A and B are shown apart, each in its own frame.
Chain A
Amino acid sequence: MTEIYDVIAEWLTKDFGKVTAVKDLELKVRRGTTFGYLGPNGAGKTTTVRILSGLLKPTRGKASVCGFDVYTQREQIKASTGLLPETPGVYSKLSAVEFLEFIGALNDLSGEVLMKRIDRLLSLLGLEGRQNDLLESYSSGMKQKVLVASTILHDPQLVFLDEPTSRLDPAASALVKEIIRAMAKETETTFFICTHMTDFAEDICDIIGILTNGVLTTLGTPQEIVENVDAKNLEDAYLKIVGGQVDRSKLLSWRS
């Protein structure tokens, strides 16, 4: 049986003036996989996601997403993928239902099918009591739930999630994990997740890539990564790869 890859990147590079945000990225993500993309702030994770979702033009290199070329078939890529951005960009003056209706319409959905999906998703995410309240009164966690719903509303083949659980409480975070697991298993949806949370990635991702200064330095299963660097867990491995281990002797030096 031939393997289908939803993400294929070859020598993918993005420069912003003199700064290289992503350098010569070589990556393949198989369909139905949950891929964790780890790296410190400013490593180039969001830039990669924006290129792969058709929002940014790469400077050089090749890439295809769900079989579509990132240079010439961007609209097809957008139709096959869902993107949860890093910060919530919701309409403050719309309710959750209205916002999801808007996102559905942008993806050519309307009528009863759309409304049923909205109702079910909001109910699943525990927002059914607040669904008609304006989003301006939502907490950041609630807005994040609405955005999670908006990302999967049109049932995409590939879902890009940029820090999906950073604003969520533990219960909501667990719920999102279960949704990801269920969609990956039952519908072969591929997930490409950017995150800082190593425990979340270790828990849910099949394959993990670690990006440092725009370069993909590590790729493998969580188990492989931990074993390769002789670490206790993924967080320890991440700190060994990326750096940033704490020097305890300096922790209180600022007080003197």
Chain B
Amino acid sequence: MTSNWRAIAKAEFLVQTSKFQSMRKPLVIVLYLFSIFWAILIVPLIEASIIDLMAGEVEALLTIAFPGAMRSVMLLLWMMLLVYPIIYALQEIKIGQWEIMLSHNVQTREILVGTFLGKVPGYFLLTFLLAPILISPFLIVYEVTLIGILLVYLTIFIIAITTIWISIVLSTAIQAKLGESEKGEDIAKAFGMLFVLLFLLPLYGLMYFAPQLATTMGLDVFMILPSTWGADVVTAITLFFSGLNPTNPLITTVTALIEGKSVISGTLFVIYILVSVIGGLMSAEYLFQFEAGPRTESITTTGKENIVLRAIRRIRPTPSGVLLITALKDFGRKAENISRLMYGMFLAVLLPFILNVGFLSEIPDKSIIVIILTMMINLMLAMIAAVTVGGTGFIESKDHLWILKAAPYGSRKFIRARTTEAILLMIPVSLVPTIVMSVLMEFSLVTAILVCINVFVTTCGGTMAGIGITAINPTYENRQSAAFKVNSFITIAINMIGAIGAFILATYLEVSFSNQIISLLGSMWVLPILGLAILSIGATRLSIPE
């Protein structure tokens, strides 16, 4: 391997730190120095004083909870480092950049190593800023020596960089495969959302059914996760370098808990690192081979309009009808939009099931359960639908905006069409989860209808707010922009405020009148009123010449 990887790593590092372009070097040095002080001095001091303030039981609790807590922390870290970069990579297929690199005779392996090393400094910093917050309390109560502390952080760092390496290998492989196709970017964005589900669901199931599996099969199911191996190694190091008396009953209990497992975990951990690094390097040239040159061209030809579009054309053969049809076609043909809505619907369906087996089953008043579930579905659907319809699915580019603005009252006509489109889309989006919930929760027909109306109206309100916010501050399709993040945050916040406001109002109405019709139909206007107000501001702002 030539030294091309160095140039790639440098470029990747410059990209990662591009926000601090003018003061990159001093800032990086200051941040690293701070992270060392943070990890070794600041966090331990703060947390030690907090622990001192509490009663002695806390120390005992922390000591005994350590192995389990460590597994949870590592699982969280592993998930974050593995899933997030993959989702991020799927948002932006970088085949164009690869073609430039490959035209300079760079090997796939070099791209992989360079990209990885360019990211390491950033993740290193992140690990050293976050890990101490979670680990320090345990290191304090176990009175771990300085060498022990350094070894613990080193282990965590190794877990982090191995996970990042796997993540990069996987995301590069996915990018390479998807990038070969003209539709790759579209599929990648859609897959990005589903990936979260594909990953989270088995883990959720694992956590949920772990006790049953352990009982029936006599297995510690978490031992299959690499994060567990790393966590057990950290626990073993902590015990080995602990300043506590080895005869301390708490220490003997914890030692008994992980004895045997730590040897297996340690072995598996080393194997995991070796297989990941060597496997990744070796597979680079086999799993994905890019070739500089044109990607596979695929041409999609539009077919006959579906029954819904034909019906709209018949009912409204006017320019406004044409705009609505165009808006529906444009939105529906982007796989990412559909995947996001499906994701929201799926979570909304899952929610009552999870809640029902949890705390809801203990609430005696059925009408309050209806209100809580309605609020939960509203929250989930309104947030995802608003970010999807208003955020990425609104205006593609600045040039596109110029075209809209160049037509007489173009922006207003466009917003009207987009809002109507959103309302039409919200019919299936709100009805499917609500019907499933009504069946699962055995609602009466009247309650089911009321909940359906409530969810539909609230979700429409949420999407109006989303469209309005994007119209006030257009972000186009750039998910990496600060404007997009700000818009998403404001949209989610407004939807949360609206949905919670509606929930409070519904509860008040239910307590005051003991009538579901009044509580559900009376409370559903909070978000639509908020949404309509924001939409009006957005429509006006978008129409004003710059």
B301 touches A133 (CB 8 A): yes
A102 touches B323 (CB 8 A): yes
CA of A54 to CA of B319 in the docked complex: distance in angstroms? Answer: 22
The yes or no answer to A119 lying at the interface (CB within 8 A) is no
Residue of B at shortest CB range from A79?
B408
Stretch at the interface among A25-33, A104-112, A203-211, A233-241: A104-112
Contacts A55-B546, A93-B334, A134-B333 aside, 13 further interface pairs with beta carbons under 8 A come to A74-B545, A78-B410, A93-B329, A94-B329, A101-B322, A101-B326, A106-B319, A107-B407, A110-B319, A132-B301, A137-B297, A137-B298, A137-B300
Residues of B at under 8 Å CB distance from A?
182, 297-302, 317-323, 326, 329-330, 333-334, 396-410, 413-414, 545-546
B403 touches A150 (CB 8 A): yes
Task: Tell me the residues in window 21-58 of chain A with beta carbons closer than 8 Å to chain B beta carbons.
Answer: 50, 53-57
CA of A74 to CA of B411 in the docked complex: distance in angstroms? Answer: 13
B398 touches A89 (CB 8 A): yes
CA of A70 to CA of B73 in the docked complex: distance in angstroms? Answer: 62
CA of A50 to CA of B326 in the docked complex: distance in angstroms? Answer: 26
**Residue of B322, B396, B399 ringed by the most chain A CB atoms within 10 A:** B322
Residues of A at under 8 Å CB distance from B?
50, 53-57, 74-76, 78-79, 81-83, 85-95, 98, 101-111, 132-134, 136-137, 150
B396 touches A91 (CB 8 A): yes
B319 touches A105 (CB 8 A): yes
CA of A98 to CA of B309 in the docked complex: distance in angstroms? Answer: 13
B406 touches A83 (CB 8 A): yes
CA of A1 to CA of B63 in the docked complex: distance in angstroms? Answer: 99
Q: Which residues from chain B contact A106 at a C-beta distance below 8 Å?
A: 319, 323, 404, 407, 410, 413-414
Residue in contact with A95 in the complex, picked from B302, B402, B546, CB distance below 8 Å: B302
Q: Which residues from chain B contact A94 at a C-beta distance below 8 Å?
A: 326, 329-330
| Cβ distance B223 to chain A, nearest Cβ, rounded Å | 47
Residue in contact with A111 in the complex, picked from B317, B403, B413, CB distance below 8 Å: B317
Q: Which residues from chain A contact B402 at a C-beta distance below 8 Å?
A: 50, 55, 83, 85, 89
A91 touches B400 (CB 8 A): yes
Q: Which residues from chain B contact A76 at a C-beta distance below 8 Å?
A: 408
CA of A133 to CA of B302 in the docked complex: distance in angstroms? Answer: 6
CA of A107 to CA of B407 in the docked complex: distance in angstroms? Answer: 6
CA of A129 to CA of B342 in the docked complex: distance in angstroms? Answer: 35
CA of A76 to CA of B396 in the docked complex: distance in angstroms? Answer: 26
CA of A91 to CA of B401 in the docked complex: distance in angstroms? Answer: 11
Residue of A at shortest CB range from B405?
A55
Q: Which residues from chain A contact B301 at a C-beta distance below 8 Å?
A: 95, 132-134
A132 touches B302 (CB 8 A): yes
Q: Which residues from chain B contact A102 at a C-beta distance below 8 Å?
A: 322-323, 326
B300 touches A134 (CB 8 A): yes
Pairs A-B, 5 closest by C-beta atoms: A89-B399, A106-B407, A89-B400, A105-B322, A105-B319
Residue of A at shortest CB range from B477?
A92
A110 touches B322 (CB 8 A): yes
A133-B300 contact in complex given A56-B545, A98-B326, C-beta closer than 8 Å: yes
Residue of A at shortest CB range from B337?
A93
A134-B302 contact in complex given A78-B406, A91-B400, C-beta closer than 8 Å: yes
Q: Which residues from chain A contact B407 at a C-beta distance below 8 Å?
A: 78, 103, 106-107
CA of A102 to CA of B330 in the docked complex: distance in angstroms? Answer: 11
B545 touches A88 (CB 8 A): no
Residue in contact with A53 in the complex, picked from B404, B406, B546, CB distance below 8 Å: B406
| Cβ distance B546 to chain A, nearest Cβ, rounded Å | 5
CA of A107 to CA of B402 in the docked complex: distance in angstroms? Answer: 14
| Cβ distance A163 to chain B, nearest Cβ, rounded Å | 12
Q: Which residues from chain B contact A92 at a C-beta distance below 8 Å?
A: 396
| Cβ distance A8 to chain B, nearest Cβ, rounded Å | 19
Q: Which residues from chain A contact B323 at a C-beta distance below 8 Å?
A: 102, 105-106
B545 touches A57 (CB 8 A): yes
Residue in contact with B399 in the complex, picked from A81, A87, A108, CB distance below 8 Å: A87
CA of A234 to CA of B546 in the docked complex: distance in angstroms? Answer: 34
B403 touches A85 (CB 8 A): yes
CA of A106 to CA of B182 in the docked complex: distance in angstroms? Answer: 30
CA of A94 to CA of B301 in the docked complex: distance in angstroms? Answer: 10
CA of A90 to CA of B326 in the docked complex: distance in angstroms? Answer: 12
A98 touches B302 (CB 8 A): yes
